[in-house]
Amino acid sequence: MPIKNNRTKKMFYILAITVIVVLFSIFAIYIYNLANTDNPEKTDTTSSTQTKPDDTPVSKAEYLEVPEWGIKLKTSISDKILYIPRIIETYPEAFDMLGIQLNPKFLIDKNCVEFGTDLYRQKTVPRFTYVKIDDYYYFVTGGPGQCSENKSDLELQSTILNELNVSNISSL
């Protein structure tokens, strides 16, 4: 249907341009929001820090506290770690195991939840490197492999493996 007069043509072009601008704006807002959503690959460390009296920035999530054992583990990602306390009955003595896991909500690949290294405690001296706190000897053991191809998952795994060390364990 051909447009008959100039005024109608102008109105049609104005309406078409307005629709195009509105659709482009909606698309641009969608892309902007998609790029700025909470995403495990993008972390904003500025909002998770506070200042000590000596002005040294420190993460709010500085320790993973384990009240069941009366200990804490110094780590920069305690908000991304879960743990499951277990008692293992073995001969000649039982020991306790803390199954350390990465919180699935921070992972792309859910295979990284359990990554093969755990924290243990027992009342006898272990054959591993340990720290003694009160009546217990604490040690870490396990042989994790690469849990994912995703870079952010591997960074989380690497961070906890580096920080899951007996020198980072202390009493509450």
Ranges of each domain in the chain: 1-37, 46-171
Overall size of the chain counted in residues: 172
Distance CA 148, CA 54 (A): 39
pTM above 0.75, yes or no: no
Q: In whole angstroms, what is the distance from residue 51 CA to residue 55 CA?
A: 5
Question: What pLDDT is stored for residue 53 in this prediction?
Answer: 39
For the stretch 7-59, pLDDT in tens is: 888 888 888 888 887 776 776 666 655 554 444 333 333 333 333 334 444 44
The overall average pLDDT reported for the chain is 76
Query: 81, exposed or middle or buried, with CB in 10 Å at 0-12, 13-18, 19+?
Result: buried
pLDDT in tens, 67-97: 999 999 999 988 888 888 888 777 667 788 8
- CB count in 10 Å sphere of residue 47: 7
